Amino acid sequence: MLSSTPHPTDPAAASNSLVFRRQGILFVVSAPSGAGKSTLLNSLRQTPDFVYSVSCTTRPARPGEVDGEDYHFLDKQEFERRIAAGDFIEHAQVHGNYYGTLRETITRNLDAGVDVMIDIDVQGARKIRGDSERIRTALADVFIMPPSMAELRRRLMKRGTETAEQIEIRLGNASKEMEAWHDYKYTIVTGAIEEDLVKFRAIMWAERYLSRRLALA
């Protein structure tokens, strides 16, 4: 999936006489909880020129969350069975629950030239960076920063999906996670959703036109 609106001078346009092919890009997005990442990802998912990889988790579903769309909600036993079976490209414990990315979704789409988006924490991103050459070549990692800790607290409280104790855990984890921003290729400080969307889209399009990703068919 190279371009939804091909243009004759577009090096990625399938109708051009010069036909370029490429592997899919693995967009990794991390952010402390409440940084505005979910709003951004939900907006990006409205224009689906990539596959969103639905993670598995042992966390209970929040009101309104849909199994198979937001997460695959598993019990601990099933999650651990899948770890043992090698189903995850990475998994981690975050805020006291298991979260994991299914390997098959990633590799199948990347091989087919389809871009994949994963929303994972900083531990998961670190594991992805240490994966095979093939995965590292596909990687474009983006860190989403909240404008301030005070704003993060305000957003978490406004969301109202966590208890006061859970909010404190998440804020404590957030300041640690934010130290990892410089390990990411891109960092966006969140502001108005429209602006965040433009910035993220700019990153996606620039990554798609990297010469090193293109090969003449």
Q: Which residues bind ligand 5GP (CB under 6 A)?
A: 30, 33, 55, 59, 90, 92, 94-95, 99-101, 119-121, 123-124
With CB atoms as reference, the residue minimizing the distance to ligand 5GP is: 124
CB of 55 to ligand 5GP, least distance (A): 3
CB of 170 to ligand 5GP, least distance (A): 8
CB of 56 to ligand 5GP, least distance (A): 7
CB of 155 to ligand 5GP, least distance (A): 12
List C-alpha distances in Å: 36 to 4, 107, 125, 190.
26, 28, 18, 7
Q: Scan for tokens 């596959």, then name that residue.
A: 51
Report the alpha-carbon distance of residue 217 to residue 214 in Å, rounded: 9
**Sheet containing strand 97-102, strands side by side:** 72-73, 56-57, 97-102, 88-94
CB of 76 to ligand 5GP, least distance (A): 15
Main-chain phi, psi angles of 55, to 5 degrees: -80, 165
How far, in whole angstroms, is CA 198 from its chain's centroid?
16
| Identity of the residue, 126 or 201, whose beta carbon is nearer to ligand 5GP in the bound complex | 126
CB of 191 to ligand 5GP, least distance (A): 20
Report the alpha-carbon distance of residue 100 to residue 138 in Å, rounded: 19
| Identity of the residue, 20 or 98, whose beta carbon is nearer to ligand 5GP in the bound complex | 98
| Identity of the residue, 10 or 87, whose beta carbon is nearer to ligand 5GP in the bound complex | 87
Q: 209's torsion region: left (phi>0), alpha (psi -120 to 50) or beta?
A: alpha
| Identity of the residue, 128 or 204, whose beta carbon is nearer to ligand 5GP in the bound complex | 128
Radius of gyration of the chain (CA): 18
Secondary structure of 141-170 in HEC code, one letter for each residue:
EEEEECCCHHHHHHHHHHHCCCCHHHHHHH
CB of 183 to ligand 5GP, least distance (A): 14
Write the single-letter amino acid at 104. Answer: E
Q: Scan for tokens 């409280």, then name that residue.
A: 157
| Identity of the residue, 16 or 166, whose beta carbon is nearer to ligand 5GP in the bound complex | 166
Indicate the SS3 state at residue 94: strand
| Identity of the residue, 90 or 115, whose beta carbon is nearer to ligand 5GP in the bound complex | 90
| Identity of the residue, 6 or 172, whose beta carbon is nearer to ligand 5GP in the bound complex | 172
